[in-house]
Amino acid sequence: MSGIVAIVGRPNVGKSTFFNRLIQRREAIVDSVSGVTRDRHYGKSDWNGRKFSLIDTGGYVIGSDDVFEAEIDKQVELAIDEADVLIFMVDVESGITPMDEDVAILLRKVNKPVFLAVNKVDNNKRLENAVEFYALGLGEYFPIASTNGSGTGDLLDAVIEAL
């Protein structure tokens, strides 16, 4: 049996960095619609011998810094439908943003496992700062650094347990 894990969150939190660390090969870039790309990347990975599919979600206009909350919400809703387990990624460097709160509202209603990954936890100060993310109302979080892989093992242990 193989499961589907989707990584959701607003742009720039480090979703693709995490995704690229985990996948063996990039499979497909699908559903590109006139300027707005749905920008979903699918890959395969495994952790401790457990295989799973991974979806990296984007949902913003390529080459533009304008991000529409509605577009992110759409990505999250697609991911909720498609995935067995969700990883909600946020960024300790910027702290909680209104867009994070918006995504959290959608995810708190979901009847599937959601793991909150606080990314960019590169040092002890940031580890302390990560506690603010309890305010998202999603419970325990995993402090990780996608650039060096720190903390990602504990997150993946929990993810495959839930698949």
Q: Residue 147 interacts with ligand GDP (CB under 6 A)?
A: yes
CA distances from 145 to 14, 35, 91, 117, 150 (A): 9, 31, 10, 9, 5
Query: Nearer to Mg ion by C-beta: 15 or 120?
Result: 15
Query: Nearer to ligand GDP by C-beta: 7 or 80?
Result: 7
Distance between CA atoms of 16 and 94, rounded to whole angstroms? 17
C-alpha 4 chain-centroid distance: 13
- Nearest distance from C-beta of residue 127 to ligand GDP, angstroms: 12
Other C-beta atoms within 10 Å of 144: how many? 26
Of 55, 52, 58, which Cα lies nearest the Cα of 9? 58
User: Residue 40 binds which entry of ligand GDP, Mg ion, none, with Cβ cut-offs from 5 to 8 Å by kind?
Assistant: none
Among 4, 16, 21, 50, the residue binding Mg ion under the rule CB under 5 A is 16
Q: Residue 122 interacts with ligand GDP (CB under 6 A)?
A: yes
Other C-beta atoms within 10 Å of 150: how many? 14
Query: Nearer to ligand GDP by C-beta: 1 or 28?
Result: 28
Q: Look-up: residue for tokens 């590109």?
A: 32
Among 5, 14, 71, 159, the residue binding ligand GDP under the rule CB under 6 A is 14
- Nearest distance from C-beta of residue 59 to ligand GDP, angstroms: 10
Q: Residue 57 interacts with ligand GDP (CB under 6 A)?
A: no
Helix 15-22 to helix 152-162 angle (10° resolution) is: 80
Interface contacts to ligand GDP, rule CB under 6 A: 11-17, 119-120, 122, 145-147
Question: Interface residues with Mg ion (CB under 5 A)?
Answer: 15-16
